[in-house]
Amino acid sequence: MKTFCLIKSFSIIATAAVLTGGCVVRERIVYSAPPAPVANGEVIVTSAPPPPVEDVYIASPGPDFFWVRGSWAWRGRWVWEPGRWIRPPHHGAVWIAPHYENRHGVHVYIGGRWN
């Protein structure tokens, strides 16, 4: 009888522990400083971008559109921005694609822009 009560008590405690063990929810909040701007849309980044992703080239929506190839962009981390058609801001504008440079061991991302 004593053994049965001991087993029953242990079973109840073990079942309660299993059922309530999964009910704890913890949220992890991570704060990070924004990337440090350098100049002219340049940002110091933590690493080189990943290898390029194969871009999907789609038909132009019109004769005055320019195809901007997909590229990695820095948004606090590397994010792939797929290729897209855009209109130049004025006739004769030249697109300078976003790119990355390593300057004396410092990683710098330079965003794309019209010139």
The pTM of the full predicted model, rounded to 2 decimals, is 0.61
Sheet strand arrangement including 42-45: 42-45, 106-110, 99-103
21 is a domain residue: no
| 3-state SS, residue 112 | coil
Q: Which of 108, 96, 105, 115 is nearest to 39 (CA)?
A: 108
91 is a domain residue: yes
The pLDDT of residue 26 is: 63
Q: How far apart are CA 13 and CA 35, in angstroms?
A: 51
* 23 has a pLDDT exceeding 70: no
Q: What is the mean pLDDT of residues 6-33?
A: 60
35 is a domain residue: yes
63 is a domain residue: yes
86 is a domain residue: yes
Domain count, the chain: 1
> By residue range, what is the domain housing residue 74?
30-114
Q: Which of 111, 115, 98 is nearest to 40 (CA)?
A: 111
**45 beta partners:** 107
Please state which of the ranges 12-21, 49-58, 100-109 shows the lowest mean pLDDT: 12-21
44 is a domain residue: yes
pLDDT in tens, 27-85: 666 555 555 555 567 899 989 999 989 988 889 999 999 999 999 999 889 999 999 99
